[in-house]
Chain A
Amino acid sequence: MDVTFYIAGAIAVISTVLMLTRLNVVHALLYLIVSLLAVSVDFFVLGAPFVAALEAIVYAGAIMVLFLFVIMMLNIGRHAAETEREWLTPGIWKGPVLLAVILILEVVYLARGASAGLGTGAIGPKEVGIALFGPYIIGVELASMLLLAGLVGAYHLGIRKTEKPEIRHVTDTDEGRADTGGDLVLAGTDRSARTT
């Protein structure tokens, strides 16, 4: 079982590295999802099936999908890759890498002498649930309030004042849409009939 842990861990680390160095956002996002799934496997090995499932479903499933939605909505375009290239100069890695290395060393120093024994026996969802509704009940309530706040905030921040009418798209694409029936608004008009 240990081997699985290390392999999954390695995959997680590698895919995180790859994520950081991609020029295309969507590629990076996909790498991130891989990393998260690898971590989920790690959780399974550690004997935490509940959390593993949660990670896969919520984190990789919901949150990353949300990312994808936003990226697609922003409609970034082709030139983003070039911009990324010029932003990612080699020299820029120096300082942060230094800090990261120091941090790693510190953590390693702290963690030395800890016995490396993977946990025997899984802690199933039942125990987690008991813990959640027992001593941690307050945390649960607070988390729900947090989620509510997040919901309301996201909604409010997402409002855009529309000064111009909703027509962002140029007319020819509208027609294209109307032809294929994808545009619900202009479908059914005989505009396309005119051009032909």
Chain B
Amino acid sequence: MITWLWLIPTLPLVSATVVILFGSRLPRRAVTALGVGSIGLSALVTVLIAVRFVTAPPAGQAYTQILGTWLSVGGFQPQIGFYLDALSLLMLLVVTCVGFLIHIYAAEFMFEDESYSRYFAYMNLFVASMIVLLLGNNLLPLLLGWEGVGVCSYLLIGFWYRDPANGRAARKAFIVTRVGDCAMMVALFLLFTQLGTLQIQDLMQRASVQWASGSTYALVATLLLLLGAAGKSAQIPLQVWLPDAMAGPTPTSALIHAATMVTAGVYLIARTHVLFTLAPAAQSAVAVVGAATLLLAGFSALTQHDIKRILAYSTVSQIGYMFLALGVGAWQAAMFHFFTHAFFKALLFLGAGVIINAVDDEHSIFRMGGLRKELPVAFWTFLAGGCALAGLPFITAGFFSKDLIIWEAWSAPGGHPTLWIAGMVGAGLTSLYTFRLIFRVFFGPLGTPVTKRPGYAMKVPLVILAVLAVAAGYLKEPLLTFLHSSLPTTIEARVGGLTETGSEMIAGLLFLAGLYLAYLFHLKKRNLSNALVANRIGGALDEWWFAGWGFDWLYDKAFVQPYVWLANVNRSDFVDAIYTGIARVADASYRVLSRTETGRVRWYATAMAAGSVLFIAIVLVWY
């Protein structure tokens, strides 16, 4: 059973190929069957394998399946192999199952679109790449999957390519993640030249033997890996692409930019955790990046108007939590948060898609309202997801995972009170902006009227995800023990001053505070929020946070403008100028020389005489 591992990425890949080649000629139903069915089959195989893995785990808690050697150059023989352990199995389950639900949703969402088959081709290709990324036993298939998801992200963001703004957003996403990819490739080179292998498990072993804790190589490699992960996962300093990536269709946003691709960075760091433990400075950097990002994104989410951008910034913020967990050494807490986040974030995005569809493509929450009665299914599921996100105590999954992280920020060996405070503030912010969104969209007077209602294909995944968003929290203990086989458990280092329950209480209070503030500003006395924005300081802050703390402006001034200026300066292409310069020199000398060809005999004779006189003089002088 477990040998069917290779089927999991192959099925979507085959489906993608078929749809690319023949999709435009097949009827819609066939494309749907292929696109959704392949993911469904992958999910089924994953579940079966998971069951087998849990009940009868293979030796060493891990299973490797080698498909072949990719290339053989010198001493470098990377293989295409799959490595299944608890970590990759968990992520695989999430990717395939949530992906399956999203594909069902997309079948109805994209039904009227003319490029229906293209969409499913890209989505399947994406899932295939993501699975290869997760399963790779070697950093090279991981890189392959990494690049693949980057390309698919570009293709899917710019899916409606006829609008140039979408193309720009897609390019921005690709270029920014490329910066991260380059850093990651340099890290790979470094690892290979120093440790001689890219096989992940061997890598970990050799590193722990060869590199002392705090060695420079480990530091540099992990910092570069961090940069790569930050690119893919939209953390500081490479977080600028994710809000703009909302230009893509909503199922894409749900799948790629909420549940799966953006967590690839988290997966990378978790996989190479041995390296990070060898470089404590880098690990602290991870935590700092995570904390800073979650705050920055939280504040930005507070000011956004577009429903999808709010959710995008929320994603950035939640992944910040995951990075924070990784940084303090709470590996399993990070993965648990990923697990729950995938459910409720996908749910929120799908719900947002339903809403946008219903109100005739209106994105701004200030123009929506009162949709509670109009779209009941959407409302209740969205509420479930929102509470999970904000961390409604004891009921929702988000509460369990987020609070675990916040607690670990205090108590783990890499933890620090400042990080704990950051996590708490972030939790409050999360609650605030989530309920701001909910109150604006679903409560209050009716804004834009509803023109379309969702069908079953859109409602059923919502409901399933809502159930998962609530129930997944109760899987905390089994999950953590399950992950124990591949990720180290965190020891509680700092005791005293605060207990876990205490931390949870504070978080619960912050949840309620956020809820109340949102209720106050966005339902009861809406003019208060207007006043806040109209106020000078408030207005300035609002603008600054709206623009993502000015990162876009900064990158534009620092990188884009100089590059464009340079390209303009080089318009006449200085390299080309060298070659045309040669031609021009030849031409000029031709012109000069042709003037000596007068046709007059005496002139020639003079020249000859002068030449010979000169020559004789030279000979005389030298000898």
Contacts A95-B606, A96-B606 known; A102 to B613 CB distance under 8 Å? yes
Any chain B CB within 8 A of the CB of A109? Answer: yes
Asked if A99 contacts B610 (CB within 8 A), the reply is: yes
Any chain B CB within 8 A of the CB of A154? Answer: no
Asked if B617 contacts A99 (CB within 8 A), the reply is: no
Q: How large is the interface on A (under 10, 10 to 19, 20 to 34, 35 or more residues)?
A: under 10
Given the complex of chains A and B, what is the CA–CA distance between A110 and B616 in angstroms?
10
* B609 (CB) vs chain A CBs: closest residue: A99
* B614 (CB) vs chain A CBs: closest residue: A102
Residues of B within 8 A of A96 (CB): 606, 609
Given the complex of chains A and B, what is the CA–CA distance between A110 and B620 in angstroms?
8
Interface positions of B from 585 to 623, Cβ below 8 Å from A: 606, 609-610, 613, 616-617, 620
A-B contact pairs, 14 of them (CB 8 A): A95-B606, A96-B606, A96-B609, A99-B606, A99-B609, A99-B610, A99-B613, A103-B609, A103-B613, A103-B616, A106-B613, A106-B620, A109-B620, A110-B620
Given the complex of chains A and B, what is the CA–CA distance between A103 and B608 in angstroms?
13
User: B-facing mask of A103-137, CB < 8 A → 1, else 0?
Assistant: 10010011000000000000000000000000000
List B residues at the A interface (Cβ < 8 Å).
606, 609-610, 613, 616-617, 620
Asked if B616 contacts A106 (CB within 8 A), the reply is: yes
* B602 (CB) vs chain A CBs: closest residue: A96
Given the complex of chains A and B, what is the CA–CA distance between A102 and B615 in angstroms?
12
- 4 closest Cβ contacts across the A-B interface? A106-B616, A102-B613, A99-B609, A103-B613
Q: Shortest Cβ distance from B248 into chain A, in angstroms?
A: 82
Given the complex of chains A and B, what is the CA–CA distance between A79 and B77 in angstroms?
99
Known contacts A99-B609, A103-B613; can you find 15 more A-B pairs with CB under 8 A? A95-B606, A96-B609, A99-B606, A99-B610, A99-B613, A102-B613, A102-B617, A103-B609, A103-B616, A106-B613, A106-B616, A106-B617, A106-B620, A109-B620, A110-B620
Residues of A within 8 A of B616 (CB): 103, 106
Given the complex of chains A and B, what is the CA–CA distance between A99 and B606 in angstroms?
9
Q: Shortest Cβ distance from B603 into chain A, in angstroms?
A: 10
Given the complex of chains A and B, what is the CA–CA distance between A110 and B613 in angstroms?
13
Given the complex of chains A and B, what is the CA–CA distance between A4 and B609 in angstroms?
32
Given the complex of chains A and B, what is the CA–CA distance between A115 and B616 in angstroms?
22
Q: Shortest Cβ distance from B602 into chain A, in angstroms?
A: 9
Q: Shortest Cβ distance from A10 into chain B, in angstroms?
A: 25
* B617 (CB) vs chain A CBs: closest residue: A106
Given the complex of chains A and B, what is the CA–CA distance between A22 and B617 in angstroms?
32
Residues of A within 8 A of B606 (CB): 95-96, 99
Given the complex of chains A and B, what is the CA–CA distance between A95 and B609 in angstroms?
11
